[in-house]
Amino acid sequence: MKKIPASILSIAMLLLHCIALPAFFLGYILIYDSLWIDNFLETGKGTVFNTLMLTSILIGVMCASRIPMTATRSKLLPLSWWQYALWSFAEIFVFACFAALYMALVYGTYGYFPALGKCLQMAFAILPYPFIIFALLFALIRPDEESVAEENLVRFADSTGRLKLVIAHDVILYIEAQENYVSIHYMEGEHRKEYSLRQSMRGIEDLMDKHGIIRCQRSYFVNPRHVKVLRRDKEGFIQAELDIASCKPVPVSPKYYEQLSKML
């Protein structure tokens, strides 16, 4: 199923869900004349007071859900639409559970489960609208600049599938096989870094192809974006000199020479 764009998990979307969505909930109840909602909330202190309390609960639930979601978005992406819809459904359900707890504890008129039924009815009658509107707004209207940035990120996982390193594809210099590990050489600002990942060259081959980082020798991948020149040394071996002075030349086998030279 199609993945959600990165903008769905952006900071702007976080603010909409933590501020605009509760405001929509508050305004809907106070402005729209719904007899059954008024009867449910009118329990001594009034509809307005209880609506404000439920709105505060909604803000707490959305912050507890959306802040971690946004903070870990690099790990959550790519997230499919059905997974995002399930997450949103869970947020509404959890809000209804806490709202029912408030109504049951503060007012003895309701038991928890009768209050839960009313809160579920109220929550799912109101909240799906802003969820859908916000998702459409960011998926169809807002230019998804973050999606472009996300597509340029390379996510390196180890042999067990655990995510270990996320970097932009254009900062990768070359990757070298070292027994049961691969050594990823990349730039971080002005400094050259190296990261050892427990993985095989075959295990990352498809990932490298996806990001235009090609195999140049049995034990090497090289990023053509950083290859300055291909030359033969005194022994006749082909080497790729990179545009980073501190980098050693990367060996190129005749098998991959033509492919690499066409990309320069």
Q: Are residues 97 and 166 in the same domain?
A: no
Q: Could you tell me if 177 and 196 are in contact, meaning their C-beta atoms sit under 8 angstroms apart?
A: no
What is the secondary structure of the chain as a DSSP string?
-PBPPGGGGSHHHHHIIIIIHHHHHHHHHHHS--HHHHHHH-SSS-HHHHHHHHHHHHHHHHHHHHHHHHHTHHHH-S-BHHHHHHHHHHHHHHHHHHHHHHHHHH-TTS-HHHHHHHHHHHHHHHTHHHHHHHHHIIIIIS--HHHHHHHTEEEEE-TTS-EEEEEEGGGEEEEEEETTEEEEEEEETTEEEEEEES--HHHHHHHHHHTT-EEEETTEEE-GGGEEEEEE-TTS-EEEEESSTTSPPEEE-HHHHHHHHHT-
Same domain, 14 and 122: yes
Question: HSE-up of 60 (CA within 13 Å, CB side)?
Answer: 12
Neighbouring residues of 148: CB distance < 8 A, sequence distance ≥ 6: none
Domain count, the chain: 2
Q: What is the pLDDT of residue 45?
A: 65
Model confidence at 197: pLDDT above 70: yes
Residue finishing a domain among 149, 175, 194? 149
Q: Is 233 a residue whose pLDDT tops 50?
A: yes
Q: Is residue 1 part of a domain?
A: no
Instruction: Tell whether the model's pLDDT for residue 167 goes beyond 50.
Output: yes
pLDDT attached to residue 6: 74
pLDDT band at 21; cut points 50, 70, 90: very high
Residues 19 and 61 in one domain: yes
Share of the chain above pLDDT 70, in %: 93
Let me know whether 170 and 104 are in one domain: no
Give me the CATH number covering residue 168. Answer: 2.40.50.1020
pLDDT band at residue 142, thresholds of 50, 70 and 90?
A: low
Question: Residue 126 pLDDT more than 90?
Answer: yes
Last residue of a domain, one of 117, 149, 181: 149
- Among 149, 184, 209, the domain-final residue is 149
Q: Over 80: is that where the pLDDT of 2 sits?
A: no
Domain extent, residue 71, equals 6-149
| Pair 143, 227 in one domain | no
Same domain, 128 and 165: no
Q: Which of 79-83, 91-95, 167-171, 181-185 has the lowest mean pLDDT?
A: 79-83
Residues 178 and 196 in one domain: yes
pLDDT band for position 147 (cuts 50, 70, 90): low
Q: Which two tokens stand for residue 264?
A: 């320069």
Local confidence band at 143 (pLDDT 50, 70, 90 cut-offs): very low
Average pLDDT over residues 234-252: 88
Q: What is the mean pLDDT of the chain?
A: 88
In this predicted structure, the answer to whether residue 128 has a pLDDT above a threshold of 60 is yes
- pLDDT band per the 50, 70, 90 thresholds, residue 40: confident
Residue that wins the pLDDT comparison between 88 and 261: 88
Q: Are residues 234 and 245 in the same domain?
A: yes
